[in-house]
Amino acid sequence: MRKIRKRMVTVCIVITAGLLLLAGRLADLQLFNTEHFGRHHINLIEESVQQRTQSVLINNGRGSMLDRNGTSLSGGDEPSLVLFPFIRGLDWPGKEISRITGMSEGILISLVSRADEPLILAKKDGAELTPNDLDQINSLKFPGIYGVMVQTSSAERPAPHLTGFTAEMPEVMKTRYPEKKLPVNTKIGASGLQKAFDEFLLPESETRLLYHVDGNGNPLFGVNVKYIADSSSHYPVQIKTTIDEENQRVMEEILSSSPIQKGGAVLLDIQSNGILAMASKPELDPNGDGSGMKNYMLESMKPGSVFKIVTAAAAIESGLDHPSARYNCDLNPYGAPEEDRQLGTLDFDKSFSRSCNYTYNILSNELIKKDPDYLEKTAANLGLLEPAGWSGPVFHYSLFKQLPEEKGGTVWKDERDKGSKKAVAQAAIGQKDVQATPLAIANMMASIARGGEKMTVKAVEEILYKNGTVMYRFPDQEQPGPSIDRYTVQKLQKLLRLVVEDEKGTGSKFRSLPFLTAGKSGTAETGKKDVSGQNLINKWFAGYFPSDNPKYALVVLDADTVASRASANQVFYDLAAAIGSGS
């Protein structure tokens, strides 16, 4: 009897403890942590309301991006018909809706009869609507039928690598905005300008149509549909970029039809130094294997002979550009016979236009005797070592970067290599440890075209309030540090023109363009091979046009390719022809 009583007491204690734990759990859910439950800080009140409602998201409240002319780069608002499922139990005006939308009444009835949640019908569904059609739909004043402008996001939006994308990242959001109370499913900037300007773009509130339902999906409180929206005239903001949508589309189309698999192109407006177009390959795919996530226009790469601009500038400033000097260009960079490329004896100018490597062996080893740091000093003066993107104080940011993913450039990794003639010769032609981003090279070209004026590159011109007034305008900004002298710039301009004008120059192809062009080619050995054992190279062409009245600086990179299919020159030609002819 005593054992039975002891067991009963034990069972009662266990049951009581369980009830207390359950009561504590319920108290935690309903009293203490209802607005920030669990590690993701879920708002249980909001979630319970959502379970009892059906809604249509009209606009997520996140700020948008515009091109330089005010055209949306992130979709837009599309005239749409919204049909709530509960109308199937009512005598709704199907014939009128059919007449306005151009959709079959039978199809409309079928869609509504099978719907479990509100339907949004737009152009892709066969509903050809205009803003005037929306007024006609709403004039019917039938509950559950609405004509609204619904936010859209194009799957083929322009400049995806530059503008970036958003994603649900609760842990990142918590770390990035520890003081903000944002819904756990809020999308935040994951890359590009979406990430850089994320705090400005964060949604203040969503715009929705919603109604409450019972367990069977039938409306509670009659058929009262509510329109929930923020009436602010200031938010969400708009980020006005420097992108020209037409030039961007042209660039993407030409790159897509080219053999380039890795690399891309960047186009700058020389006067404003804004990015008019930027595209990277492989294409951006946040759900892929990660190969397309990098924007190669912001990545440091071996520049090859494009870097001869730096060595030539140093030689000019040191007085080594003697008109009478001659170089044996049948020799390779190290002075041995060149088997594949016989150029003969050339002067300083022709050595540049025809890209003679041996000349730069001689020049670089003379220069480094005068100044062991000449190469990195000149590269810095031409803006190749520091990130080129705009940075500076903006509101509470002491150093806001428009392009925070941009890398810097390098010349030497080991100072001891300056004592090796071969290493010096390699660095002088953009090999060894030399690296620069396509954006920095485009910026160098723009600076030379402007007469030597160094500026940072802008991807965004203004942050605008919802009503179009300016929240912040990014000023033009000089790139810090000294620059090359005026005479050197003029001589470089002449050399870059000669690359095209010389019938044997590496850019002679561009003589057939309907305007004058200046530039420099580059071929860099990467030290890698493809699956068939062929050497992989980085093939470049960087330049500006028209060279007599410069408007555009353009760089094209075909990275990790084989020589037989390298297409940087052809893509540069096609882009220049399309963009220059339309200006």
Q: What is the pLDDT of residue 217?
A: 56
User: Inter-axis angle of helices 374-381 and 357-370, to 10 degrees?
Assistant: 100
d(CA 278, CA 242): 11
Tell whether 559 is covered by a domain: yes
Query: Which domain covers residue 169, as residue numbers?
Result: 54-75+155-215+229-241
Are 174 and 268 within one domain? no
What letter does residue 244 receive in the DSSP assignment?
Answer: -
Q: Are residues 447 and 310 in the same domain?
A: yes
Q: Identify whether residues 66 and 93 lie together within a single domain.
A: no
Contacts of 397 (CB under 8 A, 6+ apart): none
Last residue of a domain, one of 107, 136, 152: 152
Note whether 413 and 516 are same-domain residues. Answer: yes
375 with 253, same domain?
yes
485 and 548 fall within a common domain? yes
3-state secondary structure 343-397: CCEECHHHHHHCCCHHHHHHHHHHHHHHCCCHHHHHHHHCCCCCCCECEEEECCE
Question: Among residues 55, 305, 353, 547, which one is catalytic?
Answer: 305
Say what the pLDDT of residue 60 is.
Answer: 84
Look at residue 5 in the predicted model and tell me its pLDDT: 73
- Same-domain check for residues 181 and 316: no
Residues 6+ apart with CB under 8 A from 167: 187, 188, 190, 286
What is the number of structural domains in the chain? 3
Is residue 476 domain-shared with residue 569, that is, in the same domain? yes
331 beta partners = 337
Question: pLDDT by residue (tens digit) across 105-115?
Answer: 999 999 999 98
Is the domain of 463 the same as that of 565? yes
One domain for residues 200 and 263 = no
Q: Which residues of the chain have pLDDT under 50?
A: 44-49, 221
Distance of CA 373 to the CA centre of its chain: 34
Q: Is 508 a catalytic residue?
A: no
Query: Residue 289 falls within a domain, yes or no?
Result: yes
- CATH code of the domain in which 437 resides: 3.40.710.10
CB 438 within 8 A of CB 278: no
pLDDT, position 402: 98
Q: What angle do CA 165, 166, 167 make, to 5 degrees?
A: 130
Kindly give the residue spans of alpha helices, DSSP state H, lying in 177-303: 192-196, 198-201, 245-256
For residue 49, tell me if it sits in a domain. Answer: no
Are 211 and 322 in the same domain?
no
- pTM of the entire structure? 0.86
Q: Could you tell me if residue 411 is inside a domain?
A: yes
Residue 539 and residue 568 in contact, taking contact as beta carbons nearer than 8 Å:
yes
Contacts of 48 (CB under 8 A, 6+ apart): none
Q: What is the pLDDT of residue 224?
A: 61
